[in-house]
Amino acid sequence: MSLFAIPEGLIEDLHTVAARFWWGSKEGERKLHWWSWEKMCQPKSLGGMGFRDMRIFNQALLAKQVWRLLVRPESLVCRILKAKYFKHGSILDARRGFDPSFTWRSLWNAKSLLMDGLRWRVGDGRNIKVWEDAWVPGSEGTRFLAPNIEANPEMLVEELIDRENGGWKASLLNDLFTSEEVKAIMSIPLSRAG
């Protein structure tokens, strides 16, 4: 499940087998289903039973593999996939490509789940694109949807950092962002070492 996207039909069969086990079923006799399978798969904190939804579990395992490819670029599997699918960048920039293997299609489809949760940690800001990357903490407003018209569309976070004083350039932030965004940015601690 951590290398291939399990087909929908197989996932439904797995759910059916699990449901029969819990709800009980003998030859010619069926028991009453007290809850739907979806309700049983909800977390206990939301009133469910906490059973695993195989579809979601499969996506999580595939996203974990994409994370491993991202943080371990020296691994053999990463070098092989990089040579074939993302020669000139990272897995985050990779395209699906024409006629990819089933493994690559599975990983590539799970990449969006990982991308939803990824956030940059600001160090020196040299690799973080202000308008494209998620770098501001919080559940919402992590990416700026519409950059300020006067701003450079290719601006990097390093341009917002005052190296001499070891802080943010407050006047520039106030020119480019809303007051809520400025507050969120100013709350990001900066490393002295970068």
Q: Summarize pLDDT for 98-134 with one digit per residue, the tens.
A: 889 999 999 999 998 888 888 888 888 888 888 888 8
Asked if the model's pLDDT at residue 141 lies above 50, the reply is no
Q: Which residues contact 95 (CB under 8 A, 6 or more apart)?
A: 85, 86
Does 103 share its domain with 129?
no
The domain in which residue 141 lies consists of 119-194
Q: Is residue 3 part of a domain?
A: no
Q: Is residue 35 part of a domain?
A: yes
Q: Within this chain, do residues 112 and 123 fall inside the same structural domain, yes or no?
A: no
Say whether both 152 and 186 belong to one domain.
yes
Provide the pLDDT confidence category of residue 51 given band limits of 50, 70 and 90.
Answer: confident
Both 16 and 32 in one domain: the answer is: yes
Give a yes or no: residue 2 inside a domain: no
Among 117, 135, 163, residue at a domain's last position: 117
Question: Of 117, 151, 172, which residue constitutes the final position of a domain?
Answer: 117
Residues 113 and 165 in one domain: no
Q: Is residue 124 part of a domain?
A: yes
Residue 63 and residue 94 share a domain: yes
Contact 119, 134 (CB under 8 A): yes
* Report field, pTM of the whole predicted structure over 0.75: no
